[in-house]
């Protein structure tokens, strides 16, 4: 094999499986490797180090192997400045541009490592020169002619989140994975503790949700969390807002009476009546101001100044005036929320969960809850490895979560739950 480069892996590379994954990548892609140095951490807080030479039959094959290794956090041992090339036209990136992961990333420029701002997956990195150089991500449709775009893997350092042996602390349970055995009261209590810890630290909590939450009867409890200041941003679609407002106006969701579970006469038309009344008022905030909307999640968002993004789709009725129907504009609005979030709750919505997940850094804590395990596994498969998945009924999860967050659990019930954990 004629082509070779040396890479290094640092951190909890054994516990996280990074080292084994690196070996597998090299062999599966037809290369060889030689471990030149390997230092093992001897206690649970200690990190390990591995330096290995990677070999391939050609430079192009080696480059493909290095690209895959780079995605999991293996970095070249001979750092050079990042390669920069000017974008030839608006929305056109140079050939061979570096496509980002969602992990914390640095680029080397004039011998100094610069943190990449607003990191998210599947973007380009643009570098601005000057007295204080900065690097940041841009989606391809935002690239402007002349932008200095990073190409190749040289001069780039990626730092994936690790999974040390010690998983204590309020966020220790967030180690990824999905199981229908996990949605216990104990785990919901841990999610509640994580929310409280996030707020105490001055962080922001984003909720991403679908209309199933309203239909499952959890709207009042989510509204309480908004009212009490535990939700800082809301991302949803036209359907969620419509059914939330419909419930306040008619007591129905999807035409079903939320108290009797019966379908009243003309109940199937309530959602379109709701849309027409909000359009007549001029929007959700205007409908709140005139007293048309007096309860529900959207009401609490308006009255408590909690920003929301309603991203439209081709399936929408109406839609509501607040719904963003331009897909690029909606993506940018979602992206702005995602970059501000320190913790995200994804509640019974596949498409919105994936859309927001694509915009998140791997350091953002994510809890995804859905009765369908495919929703959670698809989120993890698309790169949101920091997410914990809970397969459970959202109508049970949200009320229990609200009780835990707002301290409404009876002492005896809390003691019973603790005993069950033991």
Report the CATH number at residue 114: 2.40.420.10
Compute the half-sphere exposure of residue 80: CA atoms within 13 Å on the CB side of its CA: 7
Give the integer Cα–Cα distance in Å for 327 and 31: 42
Question: Quick one: 321 and 257 in the same domain?
Answer: yes
Question: Quick one: 206 and 159 in the same domain?
Answer: no
Q: Can you give the C-alpha Rg of the chain in angstroms?
A: 24
Please write down the HEC assignment for all residues of 364-380.
Answer: CEEEEEECCHHHHHHHH
Which of 45, 63, 78 delimits the end of a domain?
78
Residue scoring higher pLDDT (218 or 374): 218
Question: Quick one: 103 and 74 in the same domain?
Answer: no
pLDDT at 385: 57
Within a domain: residue 171? no
Within a domain: residue 170? no
Within a domain: residue 172? no
The enclosing domain of 19 has a CATH number of 3.30.70.2690
Which of 113, 138, 165 delimits the end of a domain?
165
Question: Quick one: 328 and 381 in the same domain?
Answer: yes
Residues 122 and 36 sit within 8 Å (Cβ to Cβ): no
Within a domain: residue 300? yes
Q: Which DSSP state fits 361?
A: -
Within a domain: residue 85? yes
The percent of residues in the chain predicted with pLDDT above 70, rounded, is 88
Question: Quick one: 134 and 9 in the same domain?
Answer: no
* Range scoring the smallest mean pLDDT among 80-94, 303-317, 371-385: 371-385
Question: Quick one: 190 and 54 in the same domain?
Answer: no
Kindly provide the b/e burial profile for residues 233-260, where b requires at least 16 CB atoms within 10 angstroms of the residue's own CB: bbbbbbbbbbbbbbbbbbebbbbbbbee
Question: Quick one: 65 and 96 in the same domain?
Answer: no
Question: Quick one: 289 and 330 in the same domain?
Answer: yes
Backbone angles phi, psi at 346, to 5 degrees: -105, 115
| 314-338: average pLDDT | 95
Question: Quick one: 209 and 355 in the same domain?
Answer: yes
Within a domain: residue 282? yes
Domain count for the chain = 3
Residue scoring higher pLDDT (45 or 65): 65
Question: Quick one: 223 and 341 in the same domain?
Answer: yes
Which of 37, 55, 78 delimits the end of a domain?
78
Give the integer Cα–Cα distance in Å for 128 and 283: 40
pLDDT at 180: 52
Closest CA to 245 of 286, 204, 304, 206: 286
* Confidence tier at 418 by pLDDT (50, 70, 90): very low
**pLDDT tens column, 148-171:** 999 988 899 888 876 545 554 445
Give the integer Cα–Cα distance in Å for 286 and 188: 36
With a CB cutoff of 8 Å and minimum separation 6, the contacts of 375 are 348, 349, 350, 353, 368
The enclosing domain of 299 has a CATH number of 3.40.50.10690
pLDDT surpassing 90 at residue 253: no
Question: Quick one: 159 and 33 in the same domain?
Answer: no
Residue scoring higher pLDDT (237 or 413): 237
Within a domain: residue 284? yes
* Confidence tier at 191 by pLDDT (50, 70, 90): very high
First to last CA, the chain: 56
Enclosing domain of residue 43: 1-78
Concatenating the DSSP letter of every residue in 188-240 gives HHHHHHHHHHHHHTT--EEEEE-THHHHTT-HHHHHHHHHTT---EEEEEHHH
Within a domain: residue 299? yes
Give the integer Cα–Cα distance in Å for 184 and 201: 26
pLDDT at 182: 47
**pLDDT tens column, 79-119:** 799 999 999 999 999 998 999 989 899 999 999 999 999 99
Question: Quick one: 307 and 265 in the same domain?
Answer: yes
pLDDT at 153: 82
Give the integer Cα–Cα distance in Å for 415 and 141: 54
């Amino acid at each position: 094999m004629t082509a070779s480069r040396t890479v290094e892996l640092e951190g909890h590379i054994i516990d996280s499986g990074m080292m084994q994954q690196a070996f597998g990548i090299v062999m599966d892609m037809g290369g060889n490797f030689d471990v030149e140095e390997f230092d093992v951490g001897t206690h649970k807080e200690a990190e390990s180090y591995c330096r290995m030479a990677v070999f391939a039959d050609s430079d192009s094959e080696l480059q493909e192997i290095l690209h895959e290794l780079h995605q999991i956090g293996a970095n070249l041992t001979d750092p050079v400045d990042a390669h920069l090339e000017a974008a030839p036209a608006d929305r056109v990136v140079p050939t061979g541009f570096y496509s980002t992961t969602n992990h914390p990333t640095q680029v080397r420029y004039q011998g100094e490592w610069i943190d990449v701002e607003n990191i998210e997956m599947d973007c380009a990195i643009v570098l601005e020169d000057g007295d204080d150089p900065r690097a940041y991500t841009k989606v391809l449709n935002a690239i402007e002619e002349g932008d200095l775009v990073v190409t190749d893997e040289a001069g780039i350092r990626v730092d994936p989140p690790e999974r040390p042996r010690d998983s204590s602390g309020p966020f220790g349970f967030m180690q990824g994975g999905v199981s229908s055995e996990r949605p216990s009261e104990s785990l919901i209590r841990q999610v509640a503790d994580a929310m409280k810890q996030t707020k105490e630290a001055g962080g922001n909590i984003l909720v991403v949700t679908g209309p199933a939450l309203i239909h499952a009867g959890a709207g009042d409890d989510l509204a309480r969390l908004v009212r009490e200041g535990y939700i800082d941003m809301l991302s949803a679609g036209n359907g969620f807002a419509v059914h939330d407002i419909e419930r306040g106006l008619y007591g129905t969701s999807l035409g079903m009476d939320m108290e009797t579970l019966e379908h009243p006469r003309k109940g199937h038309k309530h959602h379109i009546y709701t849309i027409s009344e909000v359009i007549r008022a001029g929007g959700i905030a205007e409908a709140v101001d005139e007293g048309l909307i007096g309860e529900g999640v959207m009401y609490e968002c308006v009255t408590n100044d909690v920003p929301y993004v309603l991203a439209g789709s081709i399936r929408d009725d109406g839609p509501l005036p607040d719904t963003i129907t331009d897909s690029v504009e909606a993506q940018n609005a979602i992206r702005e929320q995602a970059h501000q979030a320190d913790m995200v709750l994804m509640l019974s919505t596949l498409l919105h969960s994936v859309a927001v997940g694509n915009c998140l850094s791997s350091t953002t804590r994510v809890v995804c809850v859905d009765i369908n395990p495919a929703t959670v596994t698809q989120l993890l498969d698309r790169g949101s490895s920091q997410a914990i998945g809970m397969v459970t009924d959202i109508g049970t999860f949200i009320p229990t979560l609200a009780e835990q967050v707002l301290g409404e659990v009876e002492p005896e019930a809390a003691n019973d739950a603790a005993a069950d954990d033991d």
